[in-house]
Each structure stands twice: as C-alpha cells, then as structure tokens.
Chains A and B, each alone.
Chain A
Amino acid sequence: AQKVTQAQTEISVVEKEDVTLDCVYETRDTTYYLFWYKQPPSGELVFLIRRNSFDEQNEISGRYSWNFQKSTSSFNFTITASQVVDSAVYFCALSEANYGGATNKLIFGTGTLLAVQP
C-alpha cells in the first residue's frame, strides 16, 4: 500500500530563517511520482513540484529546494530565507505511474502547518 508520512505537524520560524519540511513515503511501485503542494487559508492546493522516481537530482527554484533520496524514501522541502507569505499548510503527495486513460490519484500526507513570524 502507498503511504506518505509528514511527521512535523506544525513548524514556527521567524522571517529569514531557513526551514525544512520532511516527507517520507512508502510504495511497492518502481515507477512513481512525488509532489509538494501548498495550501493557503483560501483552501486551493497550489502545485509546487513533481518528481518521478527515476530522477533523483535535487531541484532548486528560487528560495525553494527539494532533496529526493530513494535510499531513505524521503522527499524533503527546504525554504530558504522564509517570508511571512510562505505561511501555509504544505502537503507531500505520492502517485503511482500513469494509469491508462486517466490521471492518477494522489496519496497525501497529513500536512505541515508552517507559520512564519515577522
């Protein structure tokens, strides 16, 4: 069975601090996708990144970076120099490989509430 664990329920940092959100996943599939989504108070899930299981290269996008390690089944997300606007709930998600004719379902973790204090 597929499972995503986000052990950090809440994190509070002061603006300009770096913060890392942890994500550990379980799957028996050899081909899968991993995601991070941001959920602001408005409720809409905002897509941040997708990685496939064959690409372990770390990725950086502005202040955001992601560390994918298959050996430890982890896909961690780091925000550098955090800002108040980063305050939101962040979800890590997992999906199996493409299912014929339709997009696959996402398995979400329970989320990490990030509060960035000014």
Chain B
Amino acid sequence: DAGVTQSPTHLIKTRGQQVTLRCSPKSGHDTVSWYQQALGQGPQFIFQYYEEEERQRGNFPDRFSGHQFPNYSSELNVNALLLGDSALYLCASSLGTTWGTGWTEAFFGQGTRLTVV
C-alpha cells in the first residue's frame, strides 16, 4: 500500500516565477492538507481540501492556491515566488469524518524542498 507521495522532491525556482507541487494521498484517503515548513521551524498549515473544495485555510496570502482532483490527488500552486517561500512543503492525507466521530490520523509525505533564488 503506497503511502503519501509528493513530487518533485526538490525544486529550484527564481523569484517571481510560479510553481506547482503535487501530492497523491494514501489509498482510501479523501482529504489532503498542505503545510509549509521553513528551515528550523515547525510546519505551518496552508490549507486543506476535501471533496474537491478548500475546507480550511491558514494564514497564507492568495498567492498560495490549490486544487483537488476527483481521484483525491492535489496540487499546491504558488505564484510570484518570494525568497521567503523557500521551504519544505509537506502534504498530509487523511480520511474525512462527519461531526462527532473523532479524529482520523493524518499521514505525511516526505515533502518537496523548494528553493527560491
């Protein structure tokens, strides 16, 4: 059973460019969350997709956008890249739940290391 897979593993972009990162969730999972982890920091929540809609969003500008496809895979797009966008981008997949049914565990991929020069 494949876990969460992310591509590419490493990426170098120039300031002002746009980038697309991809995530395939663990088999059976329908929810994808994206996190940004700057060097020496903990992951910061960007947004979450469930049933092809953005369900929650963290404190990130509109330059960060995403999409979820019918097969539950997801893309993270960042426009007008800044040097400060350099980070490890982590994708986490989980199974969405309904009210009151408790927690479902999130599984993380190995991340995409984005360097903006």
Contacts and interface: CB of A to CB of B under 8 A. Distances in A.
Contact of B41 (A101, A105, A110): A110
A42 B111 CA distance: 9
A50 B103 contact: yes
A38 B42 CA distance: 11
Interface in A57-75: none
Contacts of A111: 40-42
B88 interface: yes
A84 interface: no
Nearest to B99: A100
B: interface residue count bin: 35 or more
B55 A101 contact: yes
Interface in B44-95: 44-45, 48, 50-51, 55-56, 58, 88, 90, 92, 94-95
B100 A98 contact: yes
B37 to A, nearest CB: 8
A66 B49 CA distance: 32
B56 A102 contact: yes
Contact of A103 (B35, B88, B104): B104
A105 B110 CA distance: 18
7 contacts: A43-B111, A45-B43, A45-B92, A101-B50, A101-B51, A102-B50, A105-B56
Interface of A: 4, 33, 37, 42-47, 50, 52, 91, 93, 95, 98-111
